[in-house]
A and B are shown apart, each in its own frame.
Chain A
């Protein structure tokens, strides 16, 4: 199955702005992030503060919904899904 990943702001410093991954069935967001870490050196350190623990600024939208309100890193992904990675900005 194919999943489209879009990176925004600082994530573009370590990966392409948009990439399509071919993944096996029964894949989760966690599996997808692991694949990104393999393909893009620097992504793992940017996204995770410890194994399995995302940094606070990492926001992930799965088809427009934040994974915090789905199943977090265990959220399943399906063919055709769109995943957005962005760091919310805080200043004003």
Chain B
């Protein structure tokens, strides 16, 4: 059987990340929290790049109003569980991938269990309470947390390395008002692609380009800006954190 890990499939990217990097991708275990607009883009590009193991978490079903941005789903998927459709799409892209679809909410009771064993956590959530649970759990479990969020034509992304960089709570201590925010698919594509790029950087041993650097995308003006961030000693989530050992790729 020809597998998707054959050099033919990844011929055009191995010059960039090397055979060693490709093997690291195949060994990597990523957790995608949220299978919406960001999660769809993240899952698609990481599956295509050859990431070997996915846990994808969401407790929603596909609705027609999702289809402007959640590119894993088709019209005929409405009414089905997102994680099941997402798992099928990932396997279709990379038959060698192992996919664990988890239909669950992310809260204080579930989060540690859901993230345990992951090398990276990618944020595809749509609310800050869940993001704060991810943030705290990633700090506790010492898992890099690749945050992303969108609003209209604006988006943001940052990579949080436990013990090294500012955490999400350092940067956004109070949750903004949430609800049905306006979102267009292209913004999810931009920010999800940036998160996936960061994941590939982390997995293959490159320095995460956005570690401690908040990227702001402005799709109206075509601007990309970086805001340098620092840990806050009084942060309730990471203020007392003791740095762990350095990680050299995964």
Interface positions of A (Cβ within 8 A of B): 6, 8-10, 12, 17, 56-57, 59, 61, 63-66, 68-69, 84, 86-92
Contacts and interface: CB of A to CB of B under 8 A. Distances in A.
Mostly, the A contact residues are mixed
Interface in B179-229: 181-183, 188, 214, 216, 218, 221, 223, 225, 227-229
19 contacts: A10-B154, A12-B218, A57-B176, A57-B177, A61-B227, A63-B230, A64-B227, A64-B229, A65-B232, A66-B171, A69-B170, A69-B234, A86-B156, A86-B227, A88-B176, A89-B150, A89-B154, A89-B156, A92-B188
Contacts of A56: 174-177
Given A64-B230, A84-B227, A92-B150, A12 B221 contact: yes
B216 A9 contact: yes
Contacts of B176: 56-57, 87-88, 90
Interface stretch (B30-38, B48-56, B111-119): B30-38
Given A61-B229, A65-B230, A92 B154 contact: no
Interface in B88-144: 123-128
Interface of B: 34, 36-39, 123-128, 148-151, 154-156, 166, 170-178, 181-183, 188, 214, 216, 218, 221, 223, 225, 227-235
A69 B208 CA distance: 26
Residue in A57, A68, A90 with the greatest tally of chain B CB atoms within 10 Å: A90
